[in-house]
Amino acid sequence: MLRESERWVHVPPSGILAEDAGRLLVHLPAPRGASRVWRSWPARGEAEALILRTIEEARAAGGARLVWHTGDGVSPPFMDDLLSQHGFERTEDLEVLAFELGMDPQPRLPALRVPANVRTRLVEDEADLRRANSVDASVFHGLAWDERDTRAYLEGLSKLEGRGRRRPHAPEDAPEDAPVVLRYLASVQENAGKEPEIVATAGAEVTGETVRLWGAGTRAQHRGRGAYRSLVAERCRHAHAFGATLALTKANTVSSAPILRRAGFRLIARERRHTLKLAAPTHPRA
């Protein structure tokens, strides 16, 4: 399970992957404008130079911020202090949690009590993608997919057989563990006579027999009403139909981790996220 956690890297279609012996870095274009170090493996004597080089690369790529992951299996212990010395702020503590869905025809699902007035659905068209992006923008302050990500997602859906009820149909030359990226919306019906209101979104990536649960966000005024629990349950159920036997998530230690632990997820690692705000690069006048 820890090895599956260490392999967790997300490179969207609009992203640029930069990997060498020292670290694995992904740049995202505007409007997200962020770079992320998913893993880093420097020797102690080379770590400071790696940090400085990565900052310059992220700035040159146009990033507004640089996020650096540390923790069990993804970095040596001394990286936390070094990042702090170079202006990084520790912005999030995470628990890497796992839940075994099993190999039976019917999945073993987390013990999550989902209210009857909460519904979750797969994002299947561009209109729903816009709705998901709208929720993301309100929760994560500007995060949104660009045209390349949207096009790739919709093209990926078009290749799925049974819209998530069977394994995906992949081209003959595609690797067996080619990831399947899925997004979901959760809605709440407050009153019987009114239309349900979309209040939350989340993503999942099925890779081999593992589903990675990511990107869950609920509008502030609707938190604590079951939308997050519904999204977790539906993503696990749906991923099992694609062949996933293990669910992994990186949960905030304060907000989502306690919910998932009570539901049966168990701790396999701890990670931290450090963030550095980047000044725009200066260019001499022509």
Enumerate domains of the chain plus CATH numbers. Answer: 2-94+272-277 (3.40.630.30), 102-244 (3.40.630.30)
In this predicted structure, the answer to whether residue 282 has a pLDDT above a threshold of 90 is no
- Nearest-5° Cα angle at 208, 202 to 212: 25
pLDDT tens-digit profile of 50-69? 999 999 999 998 888 999 99
How do residues 147-162 score in pLDDT, each as one tens digit?
888 889 998 888 775 4
| pLDDT reported for residue 233 | 96
Q: Confirm whether pTM is higher than 0.85.
A: yes
Contact 36, 26 (CB under 8 A): yes
229 contacts: CB under 8 Å, gap ≥ 6: 112, 113, 114, 118, 259, 263
**Both structure tokens of 157:** 């859906």
Tell me which DSSP letter residue 162 carries: T
Q: What is the DSSP letter of 196?
A: -
Contact criterion met (CB below 8 Å) for 262 and 234: no
Predicted confidence at residue 173, as pLDDT, reads 43
pLDDT, tens digit (0-9, with 9 covering 90-100), for 183-203? 999 999 877 778 889 999 999
Task: Compute φ and ψ for 175, nearest 5 degrees.
Answer: -65, 150
Q: By the 8 A CB rule, do 65 and 89 touch?
A: no
Mean pLDDT of all residues in 28-40: 84
Q: Which of 131-135, 172-176, 181-185 has the lowest mean pLDDT?
A: 172-176
Question: What span, in angstroms and rounded, lies between the C-alpha atoms of 85 and 172?
Answer: 49
Label residue 285 by pLDDT band (50, 70, 90). Answer: very low
